[in-house]
Structure 1
Amino acid sequence: MPLPENDSGVGYSFGLEVDGVQIQKIQEISGLKMEQDVIELKQNDKDGKYTVKKLPGRPKAGELTVTRPLSEDNSFKDWIKDSQFGKMGAVRKGGSVIIYDYENGPVARYNFTNAWPKSLEMSSLKAGDTSVLTEKLVITYETLEAE
């Protein structure tokens, strides 16, 4: 369902699904990017004039960074442990980043394929700090398509 003509999407209404499972308590998703190579064709035309033409190349793989509060949920830790032990058949997953409108209806979906965790980082531990501890998972994927 598209947004009404004069409305825009809001940055706080989003969700993440991995293999059909909704990931809870996501604070931030960054790195959502569709990109492709650029091919430069350098040639001389019939009059001998040098020209450069840019052509679309292959799509590039990418990375998403997902941040959520540290909790009893060990799914990120278990996922990266499996990848470190080379269980790639079980580790590679598909998923989606979903953007919602004001009424929680989906307005955009970005599907990624063959994703697996590259790194997991916990926020800094600092004496006297009162901020919420977070874990940041970097997910690498092979393709990203907008729906």
Structure 2
Amino acid sequence: MATAEVQDPYVNFNFLVELDNIARASFHEVSGMDSTVDVIEHREGGWNTTPRKYPGQTKHTNLVLKWGMATDTELYDWHREVTQGKVSRRNGSVVLLDGAGQEVARWDFVRAWPAKYTGPGLNAESSDIAIETLELVHEGLTRVS
């Protein structure tokens, strides 16, 4: 008979995003934390049933940050700098917290810069929060804990 304690999985709403030199307090959603490895197929002579498959380049999906619009404009200003040709790359982390606010997992990303900004969708018949979106291009995502 099993006597191990069952541990509940972590919830996905308790997280934070850390970015070099940007003090954005909270985010509504973070997505795009995935990567894929290209497959290189090579046909070998004498092996006619299937090609050999080798790993190629690793590609990382852009991170998409969503937050409720407030008075701070640091993320928009960062994107605006890029549109003016001043690309400043930053490192950062997405940190998952447990119910007590302690870190349980961390994904570090490197050399990120904002490729796309989307302002909030506005609707006079809605009472939803105004959400801004920033899409970050980066050169690597690593789960470190």
Q: Provide the TM-score with structure 2 as the length reference.
A: 0.87
Name the structure 2 match of 1:38. 39
Amino acid at match of 2:7: N
Out of 81, 89, 108, the residue aligned to residue 111 of structure 1 is: 108
Q: CA RMSD in A?
A: 1.8
Name the structure 1 match of 2:73. 74
Q: 1:20 to 1:55 in 2, by over 3 A?
A: farther
The SS at the match of 2:62 is strand
How far the C-alpha of 1:9 sits from its partner, in A, is 1.6
Q: Is the 8 A contact 2:34 2:60 kept in 1?
A: no
Size of the aligned set, in residue pairs, is 140
Runs of 4+ in 1 over 2 A off after TM superposition: 4-7, 20-23, 48-51
How far the C-alpha of 1:21 sits from its partner, in A, is 4.8
Name the structure 1 match of 2:25. 24
The sequence identity of aligned pairs, in percent, is: 29
Q: Provide the TM-score with structure 1 as the length reference.
A: 0.86
User: Which 5+ residue runs of structure 1 have no aligned equivalent?
Assistant: none
1:45-124 equivalence runs, <5 A: 45=46, 49-88=48-87, 91-124=88-121
1:122-145 CA deviation, whole Å, 9 max, x = no partner?
221112221111101111111111
Amino acid at match of 1:66: L
Q: Is the 8 A contact 2:66 2:133 kept in 1?
A: yes
Q: Is the 8 A contact 1:34 1:145 kept in 2?
A: no
Give distance in 2, aligned partners of 1:140 and 1:49.
Answer: 40
The SS at the match of 1:82 is helix
